[in-house]
Structure 1
């Protein structure tokens, strides 16, 4: 069961990393299109700014799953390094539980806001409901929770090196 969960998590992380990369490329391309249309053609497209915001929202909320899976959670690195080995596992458990609780809380309220905005449309894109923009919050929190669990079950092999590298 554990091996299957980790295999599915690896596949999900790969797919999410491709999706977030595509969303970043989309946002950059739309930003270029917006600048060209506004300053070169003197005919601004109103829908590009909205799509940039939506794509960045989706990119960030989906991207947290990849970051959490790599062990990039907000931690107190020095405190973990200074504590005895037997307390480091407890520290990891507490961080995982707090992170999961936060993601569940955020995902719940994101779902509430998505449902509240289901009848509204996005200005500039009147055919798209606000629901699809807010849906990034609960979807990202769901995949983020799976990534936190996967990171706890199977932490990266060189996580201490990553922590040291990121603090320098």
Structure 2
């Protein structure tokens, strides 16, 4: 059971990371295009700014699960380092439950917000619904929940000193 859940988490984290990287690439390319058309050609393209913002939103919400999985999102390092092993496990549970509660709120209200935004269109892209931008919140929240519980089952504490 534990191995299957961790396999699911690895799969969802890989998907989330792939989407986050793709969205970062899209944002960088569109930002460069916006700079070239606005300042070099002096003929700005309106839709590039909207799509850059859209891709940045998706990038952030898809990168958050990776941070949760590495134990780098909600950090209580000093208290964790000074605590005995039983207290450390208690802290892991507290952090897990608090982060999971926050993600449940984000999933719930994010889905509600996405549904309400489906009648709204993106400025500059009247054919695309805001539903797709707001959908990043519940999707990222669900991926984050999987990563949060995977980190509780198989803790990974990526220390700042070793991350570089």
Which TM-score tier does this pair reach, normalised by the shorter chain?
over 0.9
Deviation of the 1:164 alpha carbon: 5.0
More divergent stretch after superposition (11-20 vs 119-128)? 11-20
Runs of 4+ deviating beyond 4 Å: none
Alignment-derived partner of residue 124 in structure 1: 124
Deviations 1:33-59 (A, max 9, x none): 001111111211100000000000001
Deviation of the 1:125 alpha carbon: 0.6
TM-score, length-scaled by structure 1: 0.92
RMSD (CA atoms): 1.6
Q: Distance in 2 between matches of 1:12 and 1:112?
A: 23
Q: What secondary structure, in the 3-state scheme, does the structure 1 residue paired with 2:52 have?
A: helix
Alignment partner of 1:67 is 2:67: yes
Q: Distance in 1 between matches of 2:59 and 2:106?
A: 16
TM-score, length-scaled by structure 2: 0.95
Deviations 1:7-66 (A, max 9, x none): 121122122212211110110000000011111112111000000000000010111011
Q: What secondary structure, in the 3-state scheme, does the structure 1 residue paired with 2:159 have?
A: helix
Unaligned runs of 5+ in 1: none
Alignment-derived partner of residue 115 in structure 1: 115
Alignment partner of 1:148 is 2:148: yes
